[in-house]
Amino acid sequence: MANSLTRFWGQGSLQKHVVQTGLRGFSSQQNPEVEEEEEFRVLSLRTVKQQFQKRREVKKDPVTPPRSNRMAVDQDWTAAWPGPRSFHPASVPLPLRQGFTERGAAAPSKFANAELMKIPNFLHLTPPAIRQQCEALKKFCTPWPKGLETEAKWQRHFPVEVITTDYLQALPTIRNPEARRVTVSLKLSDLKFDAHARDKFLRLVGDRYDKDTDILTFVTDRCPLRKQNYDYALYLLTACYHESFVTEPWEATKSEADMEVYLFGRNKSKLSAEEILNWNAAEGAPKVEPSPSYGQSVEQLINEGENEYNLTKYKEEVKKMLNIASQ
Amino acid sequence: MNFLNKLVPQVALEVQQLSKSAIHTSAVCCRVQSGRYRITTKRDRPLTYEMANPPHFIGHRKSWNSWNTSTLKDSLRPSQTAIEDLFIRKFVTGTWHALVSSEIIIKRQHNTIRIAALIRQAISPRKMYFLIGYTEELLSSWMQCPVTLELQTVADKKDVVFKYI
């Protein structure tokens, strides 16, 4: 009864009938039709073999043929392969093969070939692609400044050379502690010194100065950042330069024993030479000085040691100073 | 020599002292087994190209599965990179369960990780797209860098078989 009711409720258009059947439901009369419709449920104690249910067929999408079959010969390859990517056989219309096989057998083809996927490819860097990228970058370029065409020209304007290293690495981080190192180098001849300042500067910088190439190099790596190291290197250069022009009071107490080289000007030999030259000179007459070339030869003789060349030169100078005619 | 050391520590000590003083000659005891496959009696073990070539052919007949710069001299994080690669391999083979039919190739460029593999066409493309997104998303959140999956599908398992031994 109830079954039939609900069945009718389901059909919205038959509301009239519903009311009727509902009325009928309250009557004591049984409806023979409804009883016939109901299925007689059998109590089954043994497990009955279940009816074979049709399996839902899995719809498989047909595998599309490789894209390379449909590629036009004159297609824009940069659009087909725009960026770096592992090799994919369906996208590359080339009959590639890779792999080692026994003699006579063909090498494995490009399909299902893991070796081709391993090796880095440059399919995204074909000459047309590079040309395109260069064209795109051109609008950001500025012309090379005039007057700086050759190295000799720009070295006059930019005497200080700064060397830093950037590290590219395959890591999640872009930091590399080695990148903090800064090397600042310049030619010592680009700095202006007097004799005292130069001597003091070379003492201050120590082995950072290379005598053979005349290049001064500061390498700084004590700060964690490159900027800090660069600033520190420039600070060192500035501080050393200005400090070398300061004459401390104790520097005047340097005696002859402290001298590291023989200087003609502040030694007895100059006085003796002057005495010889001014022998019997009239009172008030201008003092005759020994020639600088004589002083040089004396310095050379004492600083470099006695060798044949220095001795000969000294002899010549002495003869010249004393006006002795050479035979 | 290794098995001797394990068996008798005293012998090992003596051997050590001996080897310091004299030239040591013996048959090669070390057995190289890793990355090699045994021949079956029925000759029905399928091998991929990668499996068919033992490790000493790396760089000659086959190439590396991990491409990165961390093993160069004075490079950073060599151990972390190796562990991460191992984790990626485990994760991908587990996520693409019974679908990965080749070794997983991991290439690192700058901060990007590119993962390439051969996948069997056993599931619908829809599920595959989901798995690609899932793998990329999870791996990139763990590795803290962009991860790209570059897969190639094969119709059948037998497509990747190079030979049977």
Instruction: Give the gyration radius of chain A's Cα atoms.
Output: 51
Domain count, chain B: 2
Out of A16-25, B8-17, B102-111, the most confident range is B102-111
User: Is the pLDDT assigned to residue A26 strictly greater than 90?
Assistant: no
Whether chain A has a CB inside 8 Å of the CB on B145: the answer is: yes
In terms of domains, do A244 and A166 share one?
yes
Residue A71 is encoded by which pair of tokens?
A: 């590629």
pLDDT digits (tens, 9 = 90+) for A145-199: 998 889 888 888 899 999 999 988 888 888 889 999 999 999 999 899 998 899 8
Which parts of B7-60 are beta strand (E)? 46-48
Query: How close B131 gets to chain A, by Cα (Å)?
Result: 18
What are the pLDDT digits (tens) for B65-116? 999 988 888 888 899 999 999 999 999 999 999 999 999 999 998 889 999 9
Give the H or E element holding residue B109: strand B105-109
User: In the predicted model, is pLDDT for residue A243 greater than 90?
Assistant: yes
Residues B24 and B72 in one domain: no
Q: Are A63 and B82 in contact (CB under 8 A)?
A: no
Predicted TM-score (pTM) of the model is 0.67
Q: Are A218 and A236 in contact (CB under 8 A)?
A: yes
pLDDT at A64: 84
Give me the mean pLDDT over the A244-266 stretch.
Answer: 86
Residue A131 counted as domain residue: yes
How far separated are the first and last CA of chain A, in Å rounded?
Answer: 157
Looking at residue A176, its amino acid is: N
A168/A227 same-domain check: yes
Position B32 confidence tier, pLDDT thresholds 50, 70, 90: confident
Please, how many CA atoms are within 13 Å of residue B1, restricted to the half-sphere of its CB? 11
- Plot region of A264 (φ>0 → left; ψ -120 to 50 → alpha; else → beta): alpha
In this structure, are B11 and B49 located in the same domain?
no
Can you tell me the mean pLDDT for B124-128? Answer: 91
Q: How confident is residue B3, by pLDDT bands cut at 50, 70 and 90?
A: low
Name the residue range of residue A16's domain: 2-37
C-alpha dihedral sign at B60, B63, B64, B70: positive
Are both A279 and A245 inside the same structural domain? no
Q: Does B123 touch chain A (CB under 8 A)?
A: no
Rounded Cα gap, residues A68 and A66, in angstroms: 5
Residue type, B114: R
pLDDT over 80 at A61, yes or no: no
Kindly state whether residues A246 and A186 are assigned to the same domain: yes
User: What would the mean pLDDT of A213-233 be, rounded to a whole number?
Assistant: 94
Total of domains in chain A = 4
On whether both B23 and B46 belong to a single domain, the answer is no
Q: For residue B164, what are the CA distances in angstroms to A117, A268, B39, B48?
A: 23, 100, 9, 9
Q: Which residues contact A60 (CB under 8 A, 6 or more apart)?
A: B124
Q: Which of A1-5, A59-63, B135-139 has the lowest mean pLDDT?
A: A1-5
| CA distance, residue B31 to nearest chain A CA (Å) | 25
Q: Does residue A5 register a pLDDT over 60? A: no
CB A171 within 8 A of CB B70: yes
Q: How far is CA B4 from CA A32, B12, B19, B22, B27, in A?
A: 96, 6, 14, 18, 13
The pLDDT value recorded for residue A10 is 44
Tell me, yes or no, if A114 comes closer than 8 A to chain B by beta carbon: yes
Q: Is residue A30 part of a domain?
A: yes
| DSSP code for A324 | P
B75/A contact by beta carbon, under 8 A: yes
The pLDDT value given to residue A6:
47
Structural domain span for residue B2: 1-31
CB distance B76–A173 less than 8 Å? Answer: yes
Please indicate, yes or no, whether residues A131 and A170 belong to a single structural domain of this protein: no
Among A1-5, A221-225, B2-6, which range has the highest average pLDDT? A221-225
Residue numbers in B near A66 (CB within 8 A):
none
Q: What is the pLDDT of residues A102-160, one digit of tens each?
A: 888 899 999 999 999 999 999 999 999 999 999 999 999 999 999 888 988 888 889 99
Strand duo A209-210 + A215-220: pairing: antiparallel
Considering the domain architecture, whether residues B18 and B75 belong to the same structural domain is answered as no
- Residue A231 in domain: yes
pLDDT (0 to 100) of residue A23 = 43
Q: What is the ipTM of this complex?
A: 0.78
Average of per-residue pLDDT values in chain A: 84
Domain assignment present for residue A14? The answer is yes
Confidence of residue B23 (pLDDT cuts 50, 70, 90): confident
Burial of A117 (0-12, 13-18, 19+ CB in 10 A): buried
Count CA atoms within 13 Å of residue A136 on its CB side. Answer: 6
Pair (B25, B102) in one structural domain: no
A282 is a domain residue = yes
Which one of A252, A280, A310 terminates a domain? A252
- Residue A74 is assigned to a structural domain of this protein: no
